[in-house]
Amino acid sequence: MERYFQEDIECASPERIREIQNEKLVEQVKHVWENVPYYRKKMEEKGVTPDDIKSVDDLHKLPFLSKYDLRDAYPYGLLGTPLKDCVRIHSTSGTTGKRVVAFYTQGDLDLWSECCARAITAAGGSDEDVIQVSYGYGLFTGGLGLHDGAHKVGALTVPASSGNTERQIMFIRDLEATIICCTPSYAAYLAESMKEMGLTPDDIPLKAGIFGAEAWSEEMRKDIQKTLGIKAFDIYGLTELSGPGVAFECSAQNGMHINEDHFIAEIIDPDTEEVLPEGSQGELVFTAVDKKAFPMVRYRTRDICRLTREKCSCGRTFIRMAKPMGRTDDMLIIRGVNVFPSQIETVLLENGYQANYQIIVDRVNNTDTLDVHVEMTPEMFTDDINEINKRQADLVKGLLSMLGIKAKVTLVAPKSITRSEGKAVRVIDNRKI
């Protein structure tokens, strides 16, 4: 068995990793100064030149890039290489109006597939595995990202893409897939469909899943692990920084190791933009130190999480990020209180429900309303109104203690909330309309 484990880098001392980052950062800042007039102008406005950046300690002097810059510079304004040197694009829908279009040279694709190969290896994958990639293929980075990573580890790759759930299950069984890659919400749907087909975890050969692209709670992990009979690993990334594989979980399943030889992470206060000390919760900012076609420097992800350098039992020394609890733009402000959908999900799963829910926010008579529609599981389904009322009241209580505000809970029939094959749509905010 051959394992794609780059121990010399992944377990290097923090000092060695810092040396690598220092060297690459100096180069990357020169690269953007010389090749990306948009970012050079931002540097000039801040009075910084490449000479001011000698190491990671100087990172804070550099200007941030945000989704608004991506919109302003769309489509070619942040290109760092001639277009003829680019071999691929990927794209994601932006929340600021324009889609994000990211460019890749062959070298960029190679380092991206290395990141995904490390993630697959950390989840126990090797050239002995059959990896079914059920993220969408195409402009979304999930499919082709994990696909290239699976090739790099030498696994037999099943490019299933998303959708067609029965065929997914047929391939898993017939081709004896051992690892599946998809969104956690789709993994939950696969588990539900298998159960309906009368299959138990013992009937399927899967041993692990690599799930990301959306926020998912620890409770959802437990649920997926139980219903599919696998170990469920988290993987994080975003199109602006290549795609999946910026960070990945290892056997410890306790936070995701950031590929620090390619990405420098910072946590900032999203309001003041001040860099926060390790361990603080705040917005994640990344600098991609060796991506050339789309070289993001101090890119504000809007994802909220914490970083830790605490020792990991797997031996990797890369800094770890906790599960992002959501994005600053996912955060709902309801009657002045900050609410993340992931907090609501935690309460539902703790109370025996599955992650089939929808959050509907509205404003009635100038007051925000929070309605949570939750599916009953087939086991708990009943038409006994007293039982339903009691269950609803229990959830209202649980949500009140988690969020500090009162929500209205409506239990709905099993399978009445639309399932997602990619990222689940959890929130409908009618206040914006």
Give the footprint of ligand DLL on this chain (CB under 6 A): 92, 135, 141-142, 212-215, 234-239, 243-244, 301, 303, 323-324, 327
Nearer to ligand DLL, 17 or 187 (CB): 187
The half-sphere exposure of 182 on its side-chain side, counting CA atoms within 13 A, is: 26
The DSSP call for residue 211 is: E
Q: How far apart are CA 150 and CA 147, in angstroms?
A: 5
Tally of CB atoms within 10 A around 405: 14
The residue sitting closest to ligand DLL, measured at its beta carbon, is 212
Q: How far is the CB of 144 from ligand DLL (least distance, A)?
A: 10
Q: How far is the CB of 322 from ligand DLL (least distance, A)?
A: 10
Nearer to ligand DLL, 178 or 239 (CB): 239
Nearer to ligand DLL, 26 or 296 (CB): 296
Query: Measuring CA to CA, how many Å separate 416 from each of 12, 68, 290, 378?
Result: 50, 37, 46, 11
Q: How far is the CB of 294 from ligand DLL (least distance, A)?
A: 12
Nearer to ligand DLL, 122 or 376 (CB): 122
User: Which regions of 176-227 does DSSP assign to beta strands (E)?
Assistant: 179-182, 208-212
Q: How far is the CB of 286 from ligand DLL (least distance, A)?
A: 10
- Kindly compute the dihedral angle of the four CA atoms of residues 183, 186, 187, 189, in this order, to the nearest 10 degrees: 170
Query: Measuring CA to CA, how many Å separate 49 from each of 29, 267, 383?
Result: 9, 23, 69
Q: How far is the CB of 336 from ligand DLL (least distance, A)?
A: 24
Residue indicated by tokens 């180069």: 27
Nearer to ligand DLL, 53 or 115 (CB): 115
Q: How far is the CB of 94 from ligand DLL (least distance, A)?
A: 9
Nearer to ligand DLL, 114 or 303 (CB): 303
DSSP strand pairing (179-182 vs 156-158): unpaired
Q: Which SS3 state, helix, strand or coil, does residue 271 take?
A: coil
